[in-house]
A and B are shown apart, each in its own frame.
Chain A
Amino acid sequence: DAKTTQPPSMDCAEGRAANLPCNHSTISGNEYVYWYRQIHSQGPQYIIHGLKNNETNEMASLIITEDRKSSTLILPHATLRDTAVYYCIVRVAGLTGTASKLTFGTGTRLQVTL
């Protein structure tokens, strides 16, 4: 799986949009970009994933650049409950075996403040 680079920490004011960047310059054509978050040592929570088109769900939006070398996760109206470590992961989806594994980096610690 391709390596990702994320800033170690970010702050965001409650009610504002949180924009979390991720670089994945060595991503392959069949690798998806996945985002998870982990709130205070709970199990990681799936947020969103995409291949090359922008994606939106009830939690967040994912913007992937045209060359696919970077992406941004957007939490449109951050709340205190969004304080967590956010992980950007690239992986090949749709395969069985070890190719399906998730390789976690150190992520971005997002602190949402009043």
Chain B
Amino acid sequence: SAVISQKPSRDICQRGTSLTIQCQVDSQVTMMFWYRQQPGQSLTLIATANQGSEATYESGFVIDKFPISRPNLTFSTLTVSNMSPEDSSIYLCSVEDNRDWTQYFGPGTRLLVL
């Protein structure tokens, strides 16, 4: 299975600032996904990121708030912009294995906004 890393693993940020989260995978993958998990809640998909095209955002998520880059087949970033305390969550990257279409998840980035 794909091995996925995320940076940072956790951060504490001030409201109004932005944080960029990096996701690195050890093999080339077509599909990458970004999820959010708010405290005590299940995972919610933010967007799908394909290399060479604009990310596709789910209802309730917009590019201005969560800009995503996908410069190559092993890397993606998610930026949480103009943060507020409501953005305090775990942000998770996942990839779809090109061989069996199974999705694998990174360890997550724990964000606390004060």
Contact = CB atoms under 8 A, between A and B. Distances in A.
B1 to A, nearest CB: 7
Contacts, number: 59
B31 A102 contact: no
Interface residues of B, number: 27
A46 B4 CA distance: 13
Instruction: Specify the main secondary structure of chain A where it touches its partner.
Output: loop
Interface centre among B43, B96, B102, B110 (most CB of A within 10 A): B43
Interface in A83-109: 87, 93-98, 100-107
B96 A100 contact: yes
Nearest to B33: A101
A45 interface: yes
B23 to A, nearest CB: 11
B43 A42 contact: no
B105 A44 contact: yes
A46 B104 contact: yes
B48 interface: yes
Interface string B92-105: 10101000111111
Interface of B: 1, 4, 30-31, 33, 37, 42-45, 48, 50, 56, 90, 92, 94, 96, 100-108, 110
21 contacts: A41-B37, A41-B108, A41-B110, A42-B107, A43-B106, A44-B43, A45-B105, A46-B1, A46-B102, A46-B105, A87-B42, A93-B100, A95-B101, A97-B56, A98-B56, A100-B31, A101-B33, A101-B45, A102-B33, A103-B45, A104-B42
Interface of A: 34, 36, 41-46, 49, 87, 93-98, 100-107
